[in-house]
C-alpha cells in the first residue's frame, strides 16, 4: 500500500527558510505594509516551492471572513450536454479573477438545494451563481438571503437580485430576418410551449418572429403559428400538417433545434428537401444536433458562456444598488438549411 504523503507545515517552511512562522505568514498572506526584506521573502518562497507547501484555504477563510470560492447552484446544468457551457464560463471567469467555483446540481430537489446552500455558507463563499438549465422565472430560496447572488439563464420572479439571461426576442427576430433576407415571405413558426405558458423563451422568440414580419410588411398568418412542446415528435407532426395543406409555407422558424430535427424528418418523409422545398431555422445551436443534420441547421446560438461571465462580473462588482436585468445577445449561426426563396412561376 502506498504511503500517504505527510502534510507540510508552516513551521517546516519557517525552519527551512531560517525565519519565524510569523514571517512566513506575512509573506504568504502578502500583508500590506510588512517590512520583510526582499531576500528573506525569496528564501520563504523558495522553501515553499522546495517543500511543496499548500496553505489551508479553509482556515484562512475562517480568519479573514472571506474565501476565494464562488458557489454555483443549478438544477441540471453541470450534467446537461449543452447547458454545461454555463459552468465552463463560470469556471473560466472565476479562475481569471483568482477564484474557484464550488458547484452543485440539485436536480430540483429542495433538500439537496438546502444542503448545498448550507455547505456554501460554511465555506464562506464570496457569492452564489444560481443557474438554470433553461430560461424560466425562478424563486430564490430564502436561505440565500444575505449571500450576494446573481441568477443566470433565468430571471428572478421577485426582482430582488440581478438576472442575466438570453435575449430571446432579439434571437427570434434574427432568425426570422434571415429567412426574410433570403426572399421568404411565407414563413411559419413552431413554438416550444403552449400559448398560455409564462416561460420567457417561447414568449420572446415569438415576439421576435412577429416583430420581423411586421417590419418587413408581411402579414401574420395565425394558422402558421403553431405551438408544440419542444420535442422532435412535435416538429415531425406539425411540419407534416403545415406542408400537406393546400396553402403551405416555404420556410419554418422552429423554436428549438429538436423541433427543427423533427421538421427535417417530416420533409424527408414527404419526399421534399431542405432547403429547396422548405427552409428551416432552429434555436439553441445544440452541439449534438445542429451541425449533424443534413444539410447543417441554420440556428441561433444561446450565449451560455457569455451569460456566465456577465453574471460573475456583476457578482464580483457587488451587483450595484438596483437589481439589474441583463439580456445577452444570441448569435445566428448560418449553415445549409436556408437558401434563396424560389420565385413563383
Contact indicator for 123, 102 with CB cutoff of 8 Å: yes
* pLDDT reported for residue 27: 78
- For residues 306 and 312, give the distance between their C-alpha atoms in angstroms, rounded to a whole number: 10
Cis link prior to 172 (omega < 30° from 0)? no
Cis link prior to 295 (omega < 30° from 0)? yes
Q: Are strands 128-131 and 69-74 parallel, antiparallel or unpaired?
A: parallel
Which candidate, 155, 77, 158, 161, places its Cα nearest to that of 127?
161
Question: What domains, with CATH codes, occur in the chain?
Answer: 10-55 (1.10.260.40), 69-166+304-328 (3.40.50.2300), 168-302 (3.40.50.2300)
| Number of C-beta neighbours around residue 307 at 10 A | 27
Q: pLDDT averaged over consecutive 10-residue blocks of the chain (345 residues)?
A: 61 87 74 76 86 62 61 78 79 86 87 90 90 92 92 94 97 98 98 95 98 97 96 98 96 98 98 97 95 97 94 84 88 97 68
Q: Are strands 331-333 and 299-301 parallel, antiparallel or unpaired?
A: antiparallel
* Cβ-based neighbours of 233, under 8 Å, separated by 6 or more: 262
Strand order in the sheet with 163-166: 100-105, 69-74, 128-131, 149-152, 163-166, 325-328
Amino acid at each position: 500500500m502506498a504511503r500517504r504523503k505527510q502534510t507540510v507545515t508552516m513551521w517546516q517552511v519557517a525552519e527551512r527558510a531560517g525565519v519565524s512562522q510569523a514571517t512566513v505568514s506575512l509573506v504568504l498572506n502578502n500583508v500590506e505594509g510588512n517590512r520583510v526584506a526582499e531576500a528573506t521573502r525569496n528564501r520563504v518562497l523558495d522553501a515553499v516551492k522546495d517543500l511543496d507547501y499548500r496553505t489551508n484555504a479553509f482556515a484562512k477563510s475562517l480568519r479573514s471572513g472571506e474565501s476565494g470560492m464562488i458557489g454555483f447552484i443549478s438544477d441540471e446544468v453541470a450534467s446537461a450536454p449543452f447547458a454545461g457551457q454555463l459552468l465552463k464560463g463560470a469556471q473560466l471567469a472565476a479562475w481569471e479573477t483568482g477564484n474557484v467555483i464550488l458547484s452543485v446540481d440539485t436536480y430540483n430537489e429542495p433538500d439537496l438545494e438546502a444542503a448545498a446552500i448550507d455547505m456554501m455558507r460554511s465555506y464562506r463563499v464570496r457569492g452564489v451563481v444560481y443557474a438554470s438549465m433553461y430560461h424560466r422565472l425562478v424563486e430564490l430560496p430564502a436561505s440565500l438571503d444575505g449571500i450576494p447572488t446573481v441568477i443566470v439563464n433565468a430571471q428572478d420572479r421577485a426582482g430582488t437580485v440581478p438576472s442575466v439571461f438570453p435575449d430571446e426576442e432579439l434571437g427570434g427576430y434574427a432568425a426570422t430576418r434571415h429567412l426574410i433576407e433570403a426572399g421568404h415571405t411565407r414563413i411559419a413558426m413552431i413554438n416550444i410551449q403552449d400559448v398560455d405558458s409564462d416561460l420567457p423563451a417561447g414568449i420572446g422568440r415569438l415576439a421576435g418572429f412577429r416583430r420581423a414580419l411586421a417590419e418587413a410588411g408581411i402579414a401574420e398568418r395565425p394558422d402558421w403559428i403553431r405551438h408544440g412542446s419542444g420535442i422532435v415528435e412535435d416538429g415531425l407532426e406539425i411540419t407534416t400538417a403545415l406542408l400537406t395543406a393546400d396553402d403551405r409555407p416555404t420556410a419554418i422558424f422552429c423554436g428549438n433545434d429538436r423541433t427543427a430535427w423533427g421538421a427535417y424528418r417530416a420533409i424527408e418523409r414527404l419526399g421534399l428537401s431542405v432547403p429547396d422545398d422548405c427552409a428551416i431555422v432552429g434555436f439553441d445551436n445544440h452541439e449534438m444536433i445542429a451541425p449533424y443534420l443534413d444539410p447543417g441547421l441554420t440556428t441561433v446560438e444561446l450565449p451560455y458562456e457569455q451569460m456566465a461571465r456577465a453574471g460573475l462580473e456583476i457578482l464580483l462588482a457587488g451587483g450595484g444598488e438596483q437589481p439589474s436585468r441583463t439580456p445577452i445577445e444570441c448569435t445566428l449561426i448560418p449553415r445549409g438549411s436556408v437558401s434563396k426563396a424560389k420565385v413563383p412561376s
